[in-house]
């Protein structure tokens, strides 16, 4: 490159997000729909937190992890949906470079903790069902905190690695992001420098944040299934499986959409299908989690009723 060429380059200082649609008539409808979904998600997850806080029966490792999961869902949807709603109002959505990179970091931080927290919940179910005699000693309060701290540390390293790797890329234009939030694949498409290292980091990160946790969850539930099938009582088997059903449902939704988004090999091109998967990741999954965990759980249902009616829990 000739001397002075760098000085003459156009450097991107902001990105233009295309959002969910360019249809002007459809934007107000989408604004109302996703605002309602956001309020519902925030309300549902705060209700779960309140239920866990006020109900002594729910002061257990499983609900401690569930409370943290609700906090993560609140954070994850807040990182993406309010900016998306703001982009539905003006004709064009301009996002400063620093804001885009910050959103990228916090989204991957929170989603990454989600991944490993679901693994910790699977480990908790494994100990509760397969090792019931040593459960209370192995799952002490100190262990709860340590597991959450490990989840946060791994996710922080992963999110920081991707953020730094993206921040050193050159963006010379165009600056139009075909998505409703800043994420890795659509940003890769806009870079005018090599993204080979970024692609490798994305694959390694997806392996550590997705594949390995999924393997550990599968191993945990393989042991859980074997232990439950050894229970002679049909009622006992049903009770044991009922404590795992909600968690497995959340795992399937979370990892199903996540793998589709980040484990596709070959092209990193953005499309309308990616926006649909993004909605599942950022909105539908956090909105469904409170419903899934309360639908078939009488303890959570009872606690929620007491929270909504302002009653004190039984002594």
* Percent of residues, the chain, with pLDDT higher than 70: 87
Question: Using one digit for the tens of pLDDT, what is the confidence trace for 181-209?
Answer: 888 888 888 888 888 898 899 889 888 88
Q: Is 13 exposed, middle or buried (0-12, 13-18, 19+ CB in 10 A)?
A: exposed
User: For residue 198, how many other CB atoms are within 10 A of its CB?
Assistant: 21
β-pairing, 93-96 with 14-17?
Answer: antiparallel
What pTM, to 2 d.p., does this model score? Answer: 0.86
In this predicted structure, what is the pLDDT of residue 10?
47
Question: Using one digit for the tens of pLDDT, what is the confidence trace for 210-219?
Answer: 889 989 999 9
9 belongs to a structural domain: no
18 belongs to a structural domain: yes
User: pLDDT class for 263, splitting at 50, 70, 90?
Assistant: low
1 belongs to a structural domain: no
Q: Which of 82-91, 105-114, 152-161 has the lowest mean pLDDT?
A: 82-91
236 belongs to a structural domain: yes
Q: Is 74 in contact with 42 (CB distance < 8 Å)?
A: yes
213 belongs to a structural domain: yes
In this predicted structure, what is the pLDDT of residue 101?
93
> Quick one: tokens of 1?
């490159």
CA distance linking residue 294 with residue 55, whole number of Å: 14
CATH code of the domain covering residue 298 = 1.20.1070.10
Q: Return mean pLDDT, the chain.
A: 82
Q: What is the mean pLDDT of residues 1-10?
A: 42
The secondary structure element, H or E, covering residue 177 is strand 176-177
195 belongs to a structural domain: yes
86 belongs to a structural domain: yes
With H, G, I as helix, E, B as strand and everything else as coil, classify residue 79: helix
Alpha-carbon torsion angle 114, 128, 227, 117, nearest 10: 10
136 belongs to a structural domain: yes
In this predicted structure, what is the pLDDT of residue 254?
78
- Per the structure, the complete domain to which residue 126 belongs is given by 14-309
In this predicted structure, what is the pLDDT of residue 258?
67
DSSP for 186-200, written as a single string:
HHHTT-SS--HHHHH
* Percent of residues, the chain, with pLDDT higher than 90: 29
Question: 93 pairs with which residues across the strands?
Answer: 17
Domains: count for the chain? 1
Helices within 55-96 (DSSP H only): 61-87
Query: What's 276-289 look like in SS3?
Result: HHHHHHHHHHHHHH
């Amino acid at each position: 490159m000739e001397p002075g060429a760098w000085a003459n380059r156009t450097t991107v200082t902001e990105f233009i997000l295309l959002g969910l649609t360019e249809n002007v008539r459809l934007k107000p409808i989408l604004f109302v729909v996703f605002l309602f979904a956001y309020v519902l998600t925030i309300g549902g997850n705060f209700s779960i937190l309140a239920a866990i806080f006020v109900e002594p029966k729910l002061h257990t490792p499983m609900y401690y992890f569930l409370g943290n999961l609700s906090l993560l869902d609140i954070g994850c949807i807040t990182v993406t949906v309010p900016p998306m709603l703001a982009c539905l109002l003006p004709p064009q959505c301009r996002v400063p470079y620093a804001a885009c990179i910050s959103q990228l970091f916090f989204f991957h931080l929170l989603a990454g903790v989600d991944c490993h927290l679901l693994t910790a919940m699977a480990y908790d179910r494994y100990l509760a069902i397969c090792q019931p005699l040593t459960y209370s000693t192995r799952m002490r309060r100190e262990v709860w905190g340590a597991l959450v701290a490990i989840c946060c540390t791994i996710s922080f390293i992963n999110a920081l690695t991707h953020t730094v790797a993206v921040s050193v890329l050159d963006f010379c234009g165009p600056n139009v992001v075909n998505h409703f939030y800043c994420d890795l694949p659509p940003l890769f498409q806009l870079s005018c420098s090599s993204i080979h290292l970024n692609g490798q980091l994305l694959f390694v990160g997806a392996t550590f944040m997705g594949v390995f946790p999924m393997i550990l969850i599968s191993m945990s539930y393989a042991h859980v299934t074997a232990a439950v099938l050894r229970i002679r009582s049909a009622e006992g088997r049903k009770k044991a499986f009922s404590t795992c059903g909600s968690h497995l449902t959340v795992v399937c939704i979370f990892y199903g959409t996540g793998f589709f988004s980040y484990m596709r090999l070959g092209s990193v091109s953005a499309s309308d299908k990616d926006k649909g998967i993004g909605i599942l990741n950022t909105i539908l999954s956090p909105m469904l989690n409170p419903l899934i965990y309360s639908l078939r759980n009488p303890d959570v249902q009872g606690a929620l009723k007491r929270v909504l009616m302002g009653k004190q829990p039984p002594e």
